Structure 1
Amino acid sequence: MDKRGKATLAAGGAVVLLLGGAGSLAFWQDSTESGGGTITSGELALSECTPVSGSGWTDDTNGTAEPIDIATFRIVPGDTLSYTCTTVVSADGENLTATLAADTSEMFAAGSDPALQARLIETEMTVTDGNGAVLPNAQITEADDGATITVAAELTFDPATPDQEAQNASVTLNNVAITLTQNTNPAVAP
């Protein structure tokens, strides 16, 4: 037999071996079913923030919260005004934590006097539970689900306002968004 015939015969034998081997190779195998179930998501929400009394605004300058009509009150340097409202928290979910904050980025409406606006100092928002205890760092957990919380924010007219700056001026306040944002769960890395 010549070399070409031997090569053809060898190639044909290899194909037969490969085809025959493809069907005979097997590993053990088995299957079972895992338990099914229903997964239900939780909830994170706030009800509408309701003013504590009247308009929600008070004059806190002398250490007492005196209700005021914000439209007729004439603020002077050193005065501190507060807005206080209550909201009901819906916080339902395992491992749920969230932070309450106020978005004051658009607090002043267009057309507000820039000198007065610059002299109104925002202080940190205070969040208290139904018993009046301050919630550290405005943190909400599932334990607060269904609780009524109080949110208070202050504006102080800078007592160091010089000369006659910001006199006979006005600012218009927009509604301030109070946000409740879920915290990142450290056990779940992105």
Structure 2
Amino acid sequence: MDVNRLTKAAIAVGGAAVLLVGGAQTIAYWTAQGTATGPDVTAGTLTMSDGACGEWTLDGGGAVTDGIVPGDTVTTTCSLAIGGTGDHLALGEITVSSPTWTAENALTGALDLSLTSATLGDETLTLPLTDPVPVGETDSLVVNLEAAFDTAATNDTQGLTAALDDVTVQVTQAHVVPTP
């Protein structure tokens, strides 16, 4: 009897499988496709041209006439042209590289050059920049640099000349989306 029941169950399961397979149909829907062409997009620009620095002034005052001594700070102003295009272009950072001196010596090694302030066009910038500053197609960038003469300088710095050959001013782009 158990064999008979198993046989009937197997026939029932087999029959159900045949019905399922026989009753399954492939459903097909129509499809179509097309290709859309897209518009161009052009990247903006950020450029800066080489500039020049003015004469050194002593401790924010007059010209250096008799030479600097340890503890003095001399400053110079460098002017460069900057420009950019881009809907959301702004300046995010301004930095200066280590200076290149015409000839390295003990005095150049005792001077610490740093960026103290900057002006973009007519706008005085607060450094470091905490908010992006929009850049126009052509603007002037003026940076003020100071060189502090290390108070720990030794006698081997006496009578030497530090001739600033160049310093690289770098601006880094920031992304700013205007509020509507």
Tell me the equivalent position of 1:157.
149
Matches within 5 A, 1:1-190: 27-34=29-36, 36-51=38-53, 56-61=54-59, 63-64=60-61, 66-67=62-63, 74-98=67-91, 99-104=93-98, 107-109=100-102, 111-113=103-105, 115-131=106-122, 133-138=124-129, 141-158=133-150, 160-161=151-152, 164-183=155-174
List per-residue Cα deviations over 1:87-139 (Å, max 9, x = no partner): 222121133334222111x5235x522x3233212233421133352244257
| Greater Rg by CA | 2
Residues 167 and 47 of structure 1, relative CA distance in 2, 3 Å threshold: same
List per-residue Cα deviations over 1:9-56 (Å, max 9, x = no partner): xxxxxxxxxxxxxxx9855322344363221111100123244xxxx0
Specify the SS of the correspondent of 1:117: helix
Cα RMSD for the two superposed structures:
3.5
- Identical counterparts, % of pairs: 23
**Contact 1:100–1:140 under 8 Å retained in 2:** no
Measured in 1, the distance between the counterparts of 2:117 and 2:46 equals 20
**Higher strand proportion:** 2
When normalised by structure 1's length, the TM-score is 0.61
Residues 58 and 143 of structure 1, relative CA distance in 2, 3 Å threshold: same
Count residues in correspondence: 152
**Contact 1:102–1:125 under 8 Å retained in 2:** no
Give the unaligned 5+ runs of structure 2: 1-25
Give the unaligned 5+ runs of structure 1: 1-23
Q: Which residue type is aligned with residue 74 of structure 1?
A: G
When normalised by structure 2's length, the TM-score is 0.64
